[in-house]
Amino acid sequence: MYREFGPPLTRPGSQPRATKRARRWPYALLAGACASLSSLSPYGPWESAVLSVELDPAPARPVSPEEPPRVAEEPPPTPAARVASRSLLGLAETPSKGPRELDSSSKLPTSPESEPRPEADLFLGVTGKEANIRARPDPNAEVLGMARMGTLLRRAPTPSGTVKCPGGWYAVAPRGFACAGASTTLDLDHPVLQLASLEADRSEPLPYRYGRTRAAAPPFYTKVPSPEEQRATEGATWGGSKQLARLWGDDPLGAPPPALLGGQTIPGRPADKVATGFGLSRSAFAFLDLFESEGRRFGLTTDFSVIPLDRVEPVEPSSFRGVVLTEEDTLPLAFVRSRSVWVYRQDEKTKALAPLRMAKFREAFHLEEEAETIGGARFFRTKTGELLREQNELIVLRNPEKMPKWASGSAPWLSVSLLRQTLVAFRGDQPVFATLVSTGVGGAADPSETQATVQGVFRIHTKHITRTMAGPEADDPYDLRDVPYVQYFHEGYALHAAFWHDGFGQPKSHGCINLSPSDARHLFHVTEPLVPSGWHSALSRRGTIIWIHP
């Protein structure tokens, strides 16, 4: 569980240092969820999305099946004036792709026919941290989603009203309305739009290039600092770690963005300060741009700070990914949870067993339905004819003995087992994806008292391509910017990618459900509400069902 914060967790003007132990936040708010409820959604306490459940085998209050998921429209064309820095960041310049499997084809609803429709060459740019997209041209209308700083929303040529929005409410693609106001602009030459031109790449396990602290915490510069300003700010730690610097490669980087040349201050940052403070020793950042200035390399973060790359190491995500299931290759499925499980073969004539090879760590095997006894021991036979001995290091996933009442039609739903540390995605009664996860270290205990994952039946209600998560406790502070593929389902509990560990299959979290970045991305594109192209977040009262049980 994490708590979400707007401002960075920094101590202005000084390096992080030890402080007196702060009063702990109540576990109900901190130790079992990823963020405070108030920071997640304008809907407020949303108990209608939470269902009481009988865990064996189906919930007491059934949930009506939903219509099949819908896909967003294609992204709008990018204006030629915006120059992305994908080559520097190691990101492909291809449009966002959908998941490996399980796409659907129906369209998201658009704005009413009576309203002006968005046009391909007209845009509304987001210059604030986020801009809300509402169901109607009214500040009190339901929030459908949010667009992030730097986003260009395709818009209608004329506004649909000016209710508490003097600049006008514009219909945007593929649906909804955004206010042309303090956090948006019609001026596509706005410096914020030029600096934040790199959008999250949803085709990748990590939507940005990331770095995390390993040596001295990085300073948050408000501009590209001169060597003299660097020495004055960083003192004895100036220059960072040469070892970390080498990890970013030897290829030369380009010059700073034009908006930062000549010592210009980043838009929105205080012009009278070279740096706003330092990060924490446990921090991670996503970068919009990487560049070089006077012999030192820097990164421009998504929240508009310049930090030296020799203070952070590049993040390489886990290579683990789950298994797409089909009618032929379905459950039961086994994951190997250790590095000491043997795969056997059986002689067709003598029926004797012989070791064939050592199974790979977290390798998956499709199994025949029933185990069999050979030589007094129980074995599972794989679909390819190999044999695995039944043991604790082998996690076997099967279909529920009785499907829950909502498993009808083709609506997706998720089943998470705390004891097995597994997740299975279904469409109706058909399993379509299985993987290993990391839930709360509190196991199946009370999440109000421990760092356990909440149990029950819920709906995913808010999704973000990325979201910042932070822990405010003085004894264990951390600040993880732009955690990828976040899906909130109850208060602050969420499914999300974890790029800071590779322990999937074991409890690791403060209460959330950690997924490998590849798996988090895959599920993000399958579950409701879908996030349209160009949006950063989407909200819905009727999202995908998630059942969390022992």
CA distance 417 to 550: 5
How large is the average pLDDT for residues 390-394?
Answer: 96
Query: Which pair of structure tokens corresponds to residue 78?
Result: 């990018």
**If we measure between CA atoms, which residue out of 303, 320, 309, 225 comes closest to residue 267?**
303
pLDDT of residue 475: 66
236: three-class secondary structure by DSSP: helix
Q: Tell me, what DSSP letter sits at residue 252?
A: P
pLDDT of residue 3: 37
Type of residue at 215: A
Close Cβ partners of 73 (under 8 Å, ≥ 6 residues apart): 107, 108, 173, 174, 532, 533
Could you tell me the CA-to-CA distances from 496 to 218, 405, 486, 518 in Å, in that order? 25, 27, 4, 11
**Worst-scoring range by mean pLDDT, 22-31, 250-259, 418-427, 468-477?**
22-31
CA distance 513 to 524: 13
CA distance 428 to 412: 6
**If we measure between CA atoms, which residue out of 543, 519, 521, 345 comes closest to residue 433?**
519
Burial class (CB in 10 A: 0-12, 13-18, 19+), 137: buried
Please answer whether residues 433 and 422 qualify as being in contact, where contact means their C-beta atoms are separated by less than 8 angstroms. Answer: no
57-81 pLDDT tens trace: 333 333 333 333 333 333 433 443 3
pLDDT of residue 488: 98
pLDDT of residue 226: 97
Q: Which helix (H) or strand (E) holds 417?
A: strand 412-417
68-120 pLDDT tens trace: 333 333 343 344 333 333 333 333 333 333 333 333 333 333 444 557 878 77
Whether the per-residue pLDDT at 297 is higher than 70: the answer is yes
**Worst-scoring range by mean pLDDT, 85-99, 202-216, 225-239, 296-310?**
85-99
CA 368 to mean position of chain CA atoms: 35
Whether the per-residue pLDDT at 420 is higher than 80: the answer is yes
Burial class (CB in 10 A: 0-12, 13-18, 19+), 120: exposed
Whether the per-residue pLDDT at 145 is higher than 80: the answer is yes
CA distance 257 to 150: 14
Helix residue spans in 54-186 (DSSP H): 86-89
12: three-class secondary structure by DSSP: coil
Q: Tell me, what DSSP letter sits at residue 218?
A: P
pLDDT of residue 160: 97
Residue linked to tokens 């403070």: 277
192: three-class secondary structure by DSSP: helix
CA distance 411 to 405: 12
- pTM of the predicted model, to two decimals? 0.82
Close Cβ partners of 246 (under 8 Å, ≥ 6 residues apart): none
Q: Return the higher-pLDDT residue of 216 and 53.
A: 216
Please answer whether residues 463 and 529 qualify as being in contact, where contact means their C-beta atoms are separated by less than 8 angstroms. Answer: yes
Confidence of residue 447 (pLDDT cuts 50, 70, 90): very high
pLDDT of residue 239: 87
Letter string b/e over residues 310-338, b meaning 16 or more CB atoms within 10 A of that residue's CB: bbbbbbebbebbbbbbeeeebbbbbbbbe
Name the percent of the chain lying above pLDDT 90: 73
- Sign of the dihedral through C-alpha 180, 181, 182, 185: positive
pLDDT of residue 439: 98
Q: Return the higher-pLDDT residue of 16 and 281.
A: 281
Query: Which pair of structure tokens corresponds to residue 213?
Result: 């602290």
478-524 pLDDT tens trace: 899 999 999 999 999 999 999 999 999 999 999 999 999 999 999 99
- Sign of the dihedral through C-alpha 41, 47, 53, 58: negative
Domains in the chain, please, with CATH? 37-67+401-549 (2.40.440.10), 209-314 (no CATH), 332-397 (2.30.30)
Type of residue at 335: F
340-375 pLDDT tens trace: 999 999 999 999 999 999 999 999 999 999 999 999
CA distance 515 to 496: 6
**Worst-scoring range by mean pLDDT, 27-41, 279-293, 376-390?**
27-41
Helices (runs of H) and strands (runs of E) counted in the chain: 5, 34
- Sign of the dihedral through C-alpha 13, 312, 229, 223: negative
Please answer whether residues 413 and 406 qualify as being in contact, where contact means their C-beta atoms are separated by less than 8 angstroms. Answer: yes
364: three-class secondary structure by DSSP: strand
Q: CA torsion, points 395, 401, 404, 409, in degrees to nearest 10?
A: 90
Whether the per-residue pLDDT at 24 is higher than 70: the answer is no
CA distance 159 to 134: 14
Confidence of residue 34 (pLDDT cuts 50, 70, 90): low
pLDDT of residue 69: 33
pLDDT of residue 474: 63
CA distance 227 to 117: 51
372-386 pLDDT tens trace: 999 999 999 999 999
| Range 10-17, long-range pairs (CB < 8 A, 24+ positions) | 10/220, 10/276, 10/277, 10/278, 10/279, 10/280, 11/277, 11/278, 12/276, 12/277, 13/275, 13/277, 14/277, 14/278, 15/216, 15/217, 15/237, 15/278, 16/217, 16/278, 16/279, 16/280, 16/281, 16/477
Name the percent of the chain lying above pLDDT 70: 78
CA distance 160 to 169: 5
- Sign of the dihedral through C-alpha 96, 542, 119, 168: negative
pLDDT of residue 120: 75
317-343 pLDDT tens trace: 999 999 999 999 999 999 999 999 999
Query: Which pair of structure tokens corresponds to residue 330?
Result: 């379905």
Mean pLDDT for the chain? 83
